[in-house]
């Protein structure tokens, strides 16, 4: 006797797979979540950046491309001091405490931003 194999739920499984693929599209749920998480992280980093001239705070920038959000410090020259904020970002972080913006973000905000991403994805699933 030949064994009989019967598949059930194949159409439902394929439909669920198509929903996941749509959600992973940069214009889908994951893309929306990436944008919102990057914006939330950027706002926190800017508010936590404190240096005397404000140039470092002003040099903070962000970009979202596809499913990747990046927060960075732009190069430029402060016309009043002649300094490039990118050059003193690393020493500022090295001062520790409230000056280590990115370490503090990871310690206190990353889980909040991650939760925002999960909730956003779930709300925007097709």
| pLDDT 10s digits, 52-87 | 778 888 899 999 998 999 999 998 888 888 888 888
CB 71 within 8 A of CB 61: yes
For the chain, how many structural domains are there in total? 1
Examine residue 7 and state whether it is found in any structural domain, yes or no.
Answer: no
The range of the structural domain enclosing residue 53 comes to 24-123
Instruction: Give the Å distances, CA to CA, from 110 to 25, 54, 119.
Output: 23, 25, 14
Examine residue 32 and state whether it is found in any structural domain, yes or no.
Answer: yes
Mean per-residue pLDDT over the chain, rounded: 90
pLDDT at 50: 81
Examine residue 18 and state whether it is found in any structural domain, yes or no.
Answer: no
Examine residue 2 and state whether it is found in any structural domain, yes or no.
Answer: no
Examine residue 55 and state whether it is found in any structural domain, yes or no.
Answer: yes
Examine residue 119 and state whether it is found in any structural domain, yes or no.
Answer: yes
Examine residue 8 and state whether it is found in any structural domain, yes or no.
Answer: no
User: For the purposes of burial, counting CB atoms within 10 Å of the CB of 51, is it exposed (0-12), middle (13-18) or buried (19 or more)?
Assistant: middle
Q: Let me know how many helices (H) and strands (E) the chain has, helices first.
A: 6, 2
């Amino acid at each position: 006797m030949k064994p009989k194999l019967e598949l059930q739920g194949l159409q439902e499984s394929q439909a669920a797979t198509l929903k996941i693929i749509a959600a992973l599209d940069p214009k889908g749920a994951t893309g929306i979540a990436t944008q919102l998480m990057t914006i939330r992280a950027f706002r926190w980093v800017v508010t936590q950046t404190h240096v005397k001239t404000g140039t470092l705070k002003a040099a903070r920038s962000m970009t979202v491309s596809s499913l990747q959000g990046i927060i960075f410090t732009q190069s430029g020259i402060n016309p009043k001091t002649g300094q490039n904020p990118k050059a003193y970002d690393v020493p500022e972080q090295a001062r520790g405490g409230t000056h280590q913006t990115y370490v503090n973000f990871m310690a206190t905000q990353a889980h909040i931003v991650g939760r925002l991403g999960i909730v956003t994805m779930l709300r925007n699933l097709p």
